[in-house]
Structure 1
């Protein structure tokens, strides 16, 4: 074997040389009788690339590997370059980058505070007023304007904002419902139906002290009023989108409405009995089968509820910061109306979403029945309180019920709670009711307010004692 190696002429493989008198690498094993070498590459020692058998036998059903198949071993009979190649790398198909969802209506600006003269001047500059509606909260109108061709949307926003003193202009952002991932939840022996007992939710016959102050406002997707859990419930539904716009799905809105006010004798009993709901469907279905609400419609929905005398507004939805939305929630707070919003399901490291992150609202995150945070729930200094949000039993879209998960289904617990507190403490302001919720919460995180649970988990045991 040694003599045969000495007769090799200098050959370079990948920068390594075998010359007369050179020693073989320690990982090369020679055989004097077969004139073959084995080279084992550690990086591929456990790989199985499924290569052809050099003997022509291929891979047998018994698992016999080819000469280069298992462990990247070269046994001769092929090109010596295979000594250094090892087994071919396994290549995985590249995943295409995720398609970014549009965050706003393209080439469109919405504005508050524009008078007719300003709108006319903007029209002369190439803007087109596509829709407008007066608002009771601000005493002005909200206007939807298309951007002139060739003008950037930011330049358009600045020009519209400067068109009238005190006006506010922003993009027409999209908002979506805050439902989390579907999670299989064991519901044997009424576990899902009774999950609310984990926070001591009062029984329906708890007495007059547990009657909610109403009406309760709800901004969500479409609702199925014929669901058995909602039949006979005092429920007013208002749809804002144009008749020709595709109706939003009924799953989310029906689930949230029933969780708040579902009939007690149904398969999906609600948290409150004899509650009145005013529900505004501000959403519409997109081509991608996603339910979205434009800021234009969201502002109109909040304004409608505020002028209908609701005591609290539930918003299980989220989106980006918007100046018109911020202005609107500020005006609602001045009307002494409580506002509750889901904190979002983009994960604990995600940026805050709105309207939950505005200080005028109660931002609600989700926990399970053991008070562990929902893994996809948002976190941050803006979080006010946590409530049950995983495996929450509520109405399905057509009939019966099912467990739902997400901060969307945690928010209604707080909405129902503040409605009860408002009824039993009519002299307290909305701000004071919010503080009462925080003071009675069960502190399960770091002492005091923390970014995971806020002030703690909603403690319903204190609701009817106030």
Structure 2
């Protein structure tokens, strides 16, 4: 492209002629016009992306071409603009917006969950404009649980107050959302792939040398039952959801299940490879990459495990306090169920999260292989015990294995330890179990129980009566 400019006042001009390279020449000027060839060739990326930056926005765009295809350049018609284009004077660039995953809300937008509502109260709420979306009998509580859709235009707080007014003895709350507690890790190599369970001296072998453990329960996301680590294990998965479009991801559930019962001869041997695991997939997909479980489904999942006479349940998930969930947790504990939950990854200054912060739940925090606290672990007086949770080598969702980090992967260590402790005494009282569990900890924080490590780091070296140290296992 060529343009012609008449410039009389200038005595000398430096012209940049770019045809793949920049050439700077002094040009003598007189009163005559001069002609400058201007190269407007595209960058290597092409100008078919979305936005400025000289064609380097890095994102796929609108496949625009021709004049105006790149707003960072001006293509003739105005001398001042042409000179600006020639010398690449700064212009305001339009950048493609960065798309971030949608934030998970704390609760369902228009739903309440209640247990203990009388029929008369339900009928009155329907007349008031509420809709009964779903109802199910919860044997754990000995009452029906109801999911209500609030009337249009009524706030959730007002709706909850209206339900409580009709049935003061019922437990009523929002339908809160809960999420797994994990973050991705980069790959490892060499000694970095050693099993971090070695820092707590976890016994090796089938059932870790302990007696036959009770059946374990797990409430988590979907699980890849065809993963080579799980194909020959005693695993049963119960899925609550029906729609395939809402199916939760398999990354988290597969990793936790493999950590608990992975085959002893696989690349990811489980902590209790001979144990039986009943897993409930209570999650569904939110957006493209998040998994959530609501209060209604968590209570259903817990009730299913009570019906199956499960003694120990792993809950690698967190969310807000909820009156319905709290009543269900207490009812499960009263029946002798032992609940082990992740303390959460919201950060050391975050508020306590649930169900870990409930009194009837064992809250597990995470440490790295140097026995330092996990930087994102929630702290507080409710934290009971620490276990390895940084760079934990476990199953990937499709095949193979990778490192995982989070309090999600510390909780299974304590779940397995509790199972080993009660293997020979399944009816051990909760108070006795807590005292026994404290015997198998190293007090690595402030003396006594502290908000960082609880009672200390799990020490499994003598968990099943053995006293031998275990050599690290390279993978």
- If the TM-score is normalised by the length of the shorter chain, which range does it land in? 0.7 to 0.9
Which whole-Å deviations, capped at 9, do the CAs of 1:35-63 have from their partners, x for residues lacking one? xxxxxxxxxxxxxxxxxxx98689xx99x
Aligned to 2:126: 123
The 3 A distance-change label for structure 1 pair 437 and 238 is same
Which stretch shows the higher mean deviation, 198-207 or 224-233?
A: 198-207
The 3 A distance-change label for structure 1 pair 99 and 260 is closer
C-alpha distance in 2, partners of 1:254/1:244? 18
**Aligned-pair CA distance for 1:438:** 2.4
Which whole-Å deviations, capped at 9, do the CAs of 1:203-256 have from their partners, x for residues lacking one? 115875x13522100000000111111112111111112335510000100000
C-alpha distance in 1, partners of 2:284/2:100? 27
Q: Is the 8 A contact 2:386 2:457 kept in 1?
A: yes
Runs of 4+ in 1 over 4 A off after TM superposition: 54-58, 93-100, 205-208
Which whole-Å deviations, capped at 9, do the CAs of 1:48-94 have from their partners, x for residues lacking one? xxxxxx98689xx99xxxxxxxxxxxxxxxxxxxxxxxxx9x99x99
Aligned to 1:195: 196
- Given candidates 169, 183, 186, the residue that maps to 1:184 is 186
Counterparts in 2 of 1:256-271, with a 5 A limit?
256-271=256-271
Counterparts in 2 of 1:126-145, with a 5 A limit?
126-145=129-148
**Aligned-pair CA distance for 1:452:** 0.9
Which stretch shows the higher mean deviation, 114-123 or 313-322?
A: 114-123
The 3 A distance-change label for structure 1 pair 119 and 187 is same
Question: When the two structures are superposed, what TM-score results if normalisation uses the length of structure 1?
Answer: 0.77
**Aligned-pair CA distance for 1:193:** 4.1
Partner SS for 2:458: coil
C-alpha distance in 2, partners of 1:134/1:205? 38
User: Size of the alignment, in residue pairs?
Assistant: 388
C-alpha distance in 1, partners of 2:244/2:164? 31
Aligned to 1:154: 157
Partner SS for 1:454: coil
Question: When the two structures are superposed, what TM-score results if normalisation uses the length of structure 2?
Answer: 0.76
Partner SS for 1:235: strand
C-alpha distance in 2, partners of 1:462/1:345? 30
Which whole-Å deviations, capped at 9, do the CAs of 1:91-128 have from their partners, x for residues lacking one? 9x999999653111111111000122221111111100
Q: Is the 8 A contact 1:314 1:411 kept in 2?
A: yes
**Mind listing any 5+ residue stretches in structure 1 that lack a counterpart?**
1-53, 63-87
C-alpha distance in 1, partners of 2:13/2:432? 84
**Aligned-pair CA distance for 1:349:** 0.9
Partner SS for 2:112: strand
**Aligned-pair CA distance for 1:400:** 1.5
**Mind listing any 5+ residue stretches in structure 2 that lack a counterpart?**
1-11, 23-89, 467-475
* Greater radius of gyration (CA): 1
Aligned to 1:393: 393
Q: Is the 8 A contact 1:212 1:272 kept in 2?
A: no
Counterparts in 2 of 1:5-84, with a 5 A limit?
none
Q: Is the 8 A contact 1:227 1:399 kept in 2?
A: yes
User: Is 2:236 the counterpart of 1:236?
Assistant: yes
C-alpha distance in 1, partners of 2:410/2:244? 33
